[in-house]
Amino acid sequence: MDETLIKAALAVLDENWTGRFTRPSARLYPHQWSWDSAFIAIGYAHVLPRRAEQELRSLFTGQWRNGLLPHIVFHGPSGNYFPGPEVWAVTCNPNASSHPPTSGIVQPPNHAIAAWHLYQYARDRTQALVFLNELYPRLKAWHDYLYRERDPFHEGLVYIRHPWESGMDNAPLWDQPLSRIAIDGPLPFQRVDKQVVNPADRPTDTDYARYLQLVSLFRTCRYEESRIQERCPFLIQDVLFNTLLCQAERDLAKIARVLGRDPEPHEARAAQTARAINQKLWDEAHGIYVDYDLVAESPIDVHVVAGFVPLFAGIPSSEQARRMCANLNSRSFCRLGDRCYAVPSYDKQAPGFSRRRYWRGPVWINMNWLLYRGLQRYGEQKYAMWVRNAIIDLPRRYGFYEYYDPEAGCGHGADRFSWTAALVLDVLYTCRSETVPPS
């Protein structure tokens, strides 16, 4: 156990703890982000379980009446963060939360995964059951919203309607869909993010204008999903989002079972989603999963690290998993023994690959954590350890950054980043018997 690294990770989390929730980072992300909080709770489970519960409890105070769990909850004044509550203006929808104010979009549904993780590692199972009983109706309402409002064809696949909903904000996946959004005139906003981190690492102003144009459309539609479906130029069935929903439904079934409730509806939905991911999102030619563009009615032929995440939910067959691992262990991503850190977020052989630009090549610790668990699930221990080494070695050598250069290893984006610290803690506490050879 690396006690020095544990202390350093805890110091990052303490620094970002507000007393009610944990900021992803103090300067760039000063509010509460949805899937960040779930990853953060996973790390807290081993050392500060009551804080882990508070993390999720605080997030769900922003849940809408229809079950939508917003991607940002603004606890207190928004300060100079942009876009703040006044841009989202969600109170035009009667379901929206006004206290606390929130955004009007969502992020990947990893919250039931985190809640089950808390129970699995709880020292006090009685207290953990009390918390699960409190959270279960909110988790169920969240999943019900997704399947009811975001699965128009009842396939078991839900769509995202904004790049920010994927968690992978400016991934190359979105270039073609976003190109359908025309930008007219000067850009009517001033970005704060480019004042905090290197502008070269961030999405372009044109991309940002398109993001905000989508938000304007949602406001015009009063955040009514049926109206948005009719008019939105960005409707994507995303691999990562649906994979996490599939596993979250399975974990919600486990939660229901320990609470004495009916797990079958959750198990049935998870099975349907797994089948749909395999039937619609599997790319047989390349051995990876790809997103589907509902507007263009075609797959998005772009290969990113999220295309391997179905391993985490046990979705691929053993043969599919074998092909995925061969793809990972190639020049496109990171070959075992090469001078690289696993796993770049985008195919290194593809146009536009960047070692440092947000979601266009850097290593992300949360994606590595999902891949590590998935590779373990399929018995791919050698590559799993390669990924685990990166999870531990990158923060130990370069600090707790938002993401990392896959060749040089240096950190980029926000520093003192909470989910990086939290997931390092989880890996260290759950894999004590494993040793990490030097990179």
User: Per-residue pLDDT tens for 25-43?
Assistant: 998 999 999 999 999 999 9
The domain total for the chain is 1
| 19 Cβ contact list (under 8 Å, min separation 6) | none
In whole angstroms, give the CA distance from residue 124 to residue 208. Answer: 45
What is residue 198's predicted lDDT score, i.e. its pLDDT? 87
Query: How much is the mean pLDDT over the chain?
Result: 95
Can you tell me the mean pLDDT for 182-205?
A: 81
Does residue 346 sit within a domain?
Answer: yes
Is pLDDT at 187 greater than 70 in this prediction? no
Tokens found for residue 401? 């950054």
The pTM (predicted TM-score) of the whole model is 0.96
Does residue 438 sit within a domain?
Answer: no
Does residue 157 sit within a domain?
Answer: yes
Q: 246 by DSSP, 3-state: which?
A: helix
In whole angstroms, give the CA distance from residue 410 to residue 337. Answer: 19
What is residue 432's predicted lDDT score, i.e. its pLDDT? 55
- CB atoms inside a 10 Å sphere around CB 50: 11
> For the segment 299-315, what is each residue's pLDDT rounded down to a tens digit?
999 999 999 999 999 99
Tokens found for residue 330? 């190639």
Whole domain around residue 285: which residue ranges?
3-430
Q: 140 by DSSP, 3-state: which?
A: helix
Is pLDDT at 278 greater than 70 in this prediction? yes
What is residue 163's predicted lDDT score, i.e. its pLDDT? 98
Return the CATH number at 377.
1.50.10.10
Does residue 437 sit within a domain?
Answer: no
pLDDT band at 196 (very low <50, low <70, confident <90, very high): confident
Amino acid making up residue 150:
R
> For the segment 104-149, what is each residue's pLDDT rounded down to a tens digit?
999 999 999 999 999 999 999 999 999 999 999 999 999 999 999 9
Q: 195 by DSSP, 3-state: which?
A: helix
What is residue 182's predicted lDDT score, i.e. its pLDDT? 87
> For the segment 82-112, what is each residue's pLDDT rounded down to a tens digit?
999 999 999 999 999 989 999 999 999 999 9
Q: How many Cα neighbours within 13 Å face the side chain of 274?
A: 19
Distance, CA of 395 to chain centre: 19
Is pLDDT at 274 greater than 90 in this prediction? yes
Catalytic center residues: 169, 402
Can you tell me the mean pLDDT for 354-369?
A: 97
Does residue 313 sit within a domain?
Answer: yes
Strand ranges (E), 316-408? 403-404
Does residue 24 sit within a domain?
Answer: yes
Does residue 352 sit within a domain?
Answer: yes
Can you tell me the mean pLDDT for 48-53?
A: 98
Share of the chain above pLDDT 90, in %: 90
Does residue 304 sit within a domain?
Answer: yes
What is residue 55's predicted lDDT score, i.e. its pLDDT? 98
Is pLDDT at 398 greater than 80 in this prediction? yes
Whether the CB-CB separation of 364 and 345 falls below 8 Å is answered with yes
Amino acid making up residue 130:
V
Estimate the share of the chain in helix, then strand, then coil, as percent rounded to the nearest 5.
50, 5, 45
What is residue 41's predicted lDDT score, i.e. its pLDDT? 98
